[in-house]
Amino acid sequence: MKQLTVLSSVLLLALSGCGKKEGMETPGAGKKITVGFSQIGAESAWRTANTQSIKDEAGKRGINLQFSDAQQKQENQIKALRSFIAQGVDVIAFSPVVETGWEPVLQEIKQAGIPVILTDRAVDVSDLSLFTTFIGSDFVEEGRRAGKWLAEKTGGKAQIAELVGTPGSAPAIDRKKGFEEVLAKYPGMKIIKSQSGDFTRAKGKEVMESFLKAPDAKQINVLFAHNDDMALGAIQAMEEAGVKPGQDILIVSIDGVKNAFEAMAAGKLNCTVECNPLIGPQLFDAVDSIMAKKDLSKRLVVQEGVFDQSKAAAELPSRKY
């Protein structure tokens, strides 16, 4: 009987350790949860607000946040993810610079038994079990919204210059796809120039300068920018070239940052499609669910809107980013 009791105790101990990574601390254990987060960089006002939201929410919840800035380089992110594995963090979250090239390191994370949350941008992998959930915007729908607003505003006739985001990134691919879906319905709306501005204000200005120096520059009557920062850089280039932004060239962009609302209030930007960066609460709600072993949807979408000049002044005081 005594031997049976000892055997039962051993079995109970073994079962209690099943499926739990060594060193992982549960919320009820009175110890901090550790989350490793790899951010793309600080290429825009949107990204800065996104980072601040995550850091602020981690602080409010007493999360031990191990934060890494990849400076827009995939190799830096992969290095950070491997560092998180070595540290034995409880959860890994990251916003991928580009869509592809993640499978090997995600396999390593899976083998280490660490759950992964994707934020803002998705990855292209053959095995969807390599991540637990993806929290972010519907970039294709954002592109559609920009296209629909423009079609209505121009009556379906536009000669468009396009400032594309970082090549290979999910928002650049998907926003273009959604925008072109709408253009396919309007033969009078055509993209006549398209080049990457890498999601930065400086590069957006540089590319717009080259557009305005081209022989067919006067044909451009619309600018579609994949984010507000590139649009704001383009506005600078237009003003320096004697072109009136928002009048001579209609401008629609994506993100909805405060500077974009200021530009709309000044009549220099016509429309911004919101891409909400304040996902800190949603991210750490997901972390809590993972730690409590609750089921999570594979896709968590952020709620967003569309704003044009008519809404800018009223909306501006309440913008948090």
Question: Residue 14 has what pLDDT?
Answer: 35
pLDDT at 2 over 90: no
Residue 244 and residue 229: Cα distance in Å, rounded? 18
Is it the case that residue 15 has pLDDT exceeding 50?
A: no
CATH 3.40.50.11740 fits 139-275, yes or no: no
Q: What percent of the chain has pLDDT over 90?
A: 86
- Name the band, by pLDDT with cuts 50, 70 and 90, for residue 318: confident
The answer, yes or no, to whether residue 300 has pLDDT greater than 70, is yes
The residues, ordered by sequence, that sit 6+ positions from 116 with a Cβ below 8 Å of its Cβ are 91, 92, 93, 94, 106, 109, 110, 130, 131, 132
pLDDT on residue 124: 95
Answer with the residue of higher pLDDT: 11 or 298: 298
| pLDDT interval class at 23 (50, 70, 90) | very low
In the structure, what pLDDT confidence band is assigned to residue 24 with cuts at 50, 70 and 90? very low
Assess contact for 24 and 90: CB atoms under 8 A.
yes
CATH topology agreement for domains 29-137+277-302 and 139-275: yes
Segment 171-190 shows an average pLDDT of 98
Q: What is the pLDDT of residues 101-133, one digit of tens each?
A: 999 999 999 999 999 999 999 999 999 999 999
Q: How far is CA 127 from the centre of its chain?
A: 21
Residue type present at position 91: V
Give the residue-averaged pLDDT of 93-102: 96
Q: What is the pLDDT averaged over residues 254-265?
A: 96
Output the pLDDT for position 6. Answer: 33
Binned at pLDDT 50, 70 and 90, residue 4 comes out as very low
Domain positions in the chain: 29-137+277-302, 139-275
Per-chain mean pLDDT for the chain = 91
Task: Please state, in angstroms and rounded to a whole number, the distance separating the CA atoms of residues 82 and 162.
Answer: 37
Tell me the C-alpha distance between 112 and 295, whole Å.
Answer: 20
**How large is the average pLDDT for residues 176-186?**
98
pLDDT of residue 303: 83
Provide the 8-state DSSP code for 23.
T
Crossing angle of helices 103-111 and 74-87, in 10° steps, is: 10
Overall fold of domain 29-137+277-302: Rossmann fold (3.40.50)
Q: How sure is the predictor about 275, in pLDDT bands with cuts at 50, 70 and 90?
A: very high
Confidence of residue 30 (pLDDT cuts 50, 70, 90): low
Asked whether residue 208 carries a pLDDT value surpassing 80, the answer given is: yes
Dist CA 281 CA 57 (whole Å): 6
If we measure between CA atoms, which residue out of 56, 138, 143 comes closest to residue 304?
138
How many CA atoms, within 13 angstroms, populate the side-chain half-sphere of residue 190?
6
Range with the poorest average pLDDT among 27-36, 86-95, 128-137, 244-253:
27-36
Give me the half-sphere count of Cα atoms (radius 13 Å) on the Cβ side of residue 121: 25
Whether the pLDDT of residue 20 is over 60: the answer is no
- The amino acid at 172: A
User: Is the pLDDT at 307 greater than 50, yes or no?
Assistant: yes
Q: Over 90: is that where the pLDDT of 58 sits? A: yes
Q: Which residue has the tokens 């972010």?
A: 136
Q: Decide if 163 contacts 207 (C-beta within 8 A).
A: yes
Q: Which residue has the higher pLDDT, 159 or 4?
A: 159
Q: What is the pLDDT of residue 320?
A: 83
In the predicted model, is pLDDT for residue 1 greater than 50?
Answer: no
pLDDT of 31: 78
pLDDT at 70: 97
